[in-house]
Structure 1
């Protein structure tokens, strides 16, 4: 039998997906100051003007996330994997009867971000050098929108929903709690692996230990967001991810004043 905690969602998905796609476009635009500062060499030899590259990437992110969001909603809503508060707002429906756990999501994101920093500081670091901490912080704050919106659409709304759907398909659409847990863990590991290209671009060593560290540290955030997505909806996962990124990309640079 199905997991008793899931809530079957019936209704359209396209308009909600469009709103998520539009939010993804804005988040992609907000990411560029951070990416340009992080990998300046990548933008030094562009074949097109910067504005053209940014416009194309922003449009691409919006369209892609619209499609991915629709697919995630279509596959996951039958198993209670949805964005209930955004759905109620977009379609002008009554808000969910269950109470949101917004403080829990924020706190879990902050704690996860602090844990990631604490674990990362246990390894030997090269001698740090002073940087523009304020500049890094404001760019990091803008980049946090990308993590909270785009990455949650891709890695929670789509990946977790798709994996649960596939596992349920093997059991004739019957779900068990272990299916959600397995989907959350696998999506978190894939989320962690998705950070490797950027890490390599910034000069990270290609050793097994370094690769495993990047995957596992980012997977910690993915696990927290995945659990919140399962139990409370996409909005809670987005808030937790945004809160974790604020700790990692804003609070930490300001506190240390160092890379």
Structure 2
């Protein structure tokens, strides 16, 4: 059956909400740079442009892409209930969809659990050589980097990718989205989300064999399935909160605990 919510007009405006995500993407990308500077210093030093120019261009590019993909995701997904209902109600000063119920505690608990599971499974694998950065240094950089995962990655891989896949599947069914279409879209987007982490893993030398590659894809896909499910049932804000909490476990709690 169709999942089109009655409280949301089919042609509701999305530009202002997408612009908010674009601005948030710029700020989140800026917050990511301290982490990148210690994660891949040699790769950044080898770039032909000066580092300030690299930071400025890549940050602007990320913000623009975040805005564009957010607009497309809202346009394609909102008619099927894939939306950011709390931010939409705030930006456009309209009543929130009464069918949407907040489950912030659930997003926090699932995010923390997913982060702990991923951290635990990573610790079972082969250990990589450390560097001179202290645990505290990794933790505060990881805290800032967690905003990138919670904002930019959720806009790209949930708001846009899941919405686009559901839209495509629904087009094959007289524009009616069924539950299995959402499940399939969430799983496919999660696998692509996991594969998207391979470029950084290759650059830093972490992924160098089939087993580490599969582990990176599947562990990140696990987080993607969790946040995708929250996006479907409760809205993008829940997915963002859960992703942020998962990254806090991985990039803040784990270094402080000696992981």
TM-score category, normalised to shorter length: over 0.9
Structure 2 unaligned residues grouped into runs of 5+: none
Cα deviation code 1:106-145 (max 9, x no counterpart) = 1100000001112222234357677400010011001000
Q: Does 1:151 align with 2:153?
A: yes
Alignment check: 8 A CA contact 2:101 2:234 kept: no
Shift of 1:197: 0.7
Shift of 1:169: 0.6
Q: Does 1:81 align with 2:79?
A: no
Cα deviation code 1:212-248 (max 9, x no counterpart) = 1100000011011000000000000000000000000
Q: Does 1:53 align with 2:54?
A: yes
Moved more, 206-215 or 41-50: 41-50
- For 2:28, the equivalent position in structure 1 comes to 27
- For 1:2, the equivalent position in structure 2 comes to 2
Cα deviation code 1:120-174 (max 9, x no counterpart) = 2223435767740001001100100000000000000000000000110111111
Structure 2 CA distance for aligned equivalents of residues 131 and 52 of structure 1? 25
TM-score by length of 2: 0.94
SS at match of 1:48: coil
- For 1:13, the equivalent position in structure 2 comes to 14
SS at match of 2:186: helix
| 1:224-235 equivalence runs, <5 A | 224-235=226-237
Inter-CA distance 128–23: structure 2 relative to 1 (3 Å threshold)? closer
| 1:159-174 equivalence runs, <5 A | 159-174=161-176
Structure 2 CA distance for aligned equivalents of residues 67 and 215 of structure 1? 26
Dislocated runs of 4+, deviation >4 Å: 126-131
Alignment check: 8 A CA contact 2:198 2:207 kept: no
Structure 1 CA distance for aligned equivalents of residues 25 and 96 of structure 2? 23
| 1:148-227 equivalence runs, <5 A | 148-227=150-229
Structure 1 CA distance for aligned equivalents of residues 217 and 172 of structure 2? 28
Structure 2 CA distance for aligned equivalents of residues 13 and 146 of structure 1? 22
Structure 1 unaligned residues grouped into runs of 5+: none
SS at match of 1:121: helix
Aligned length: 255
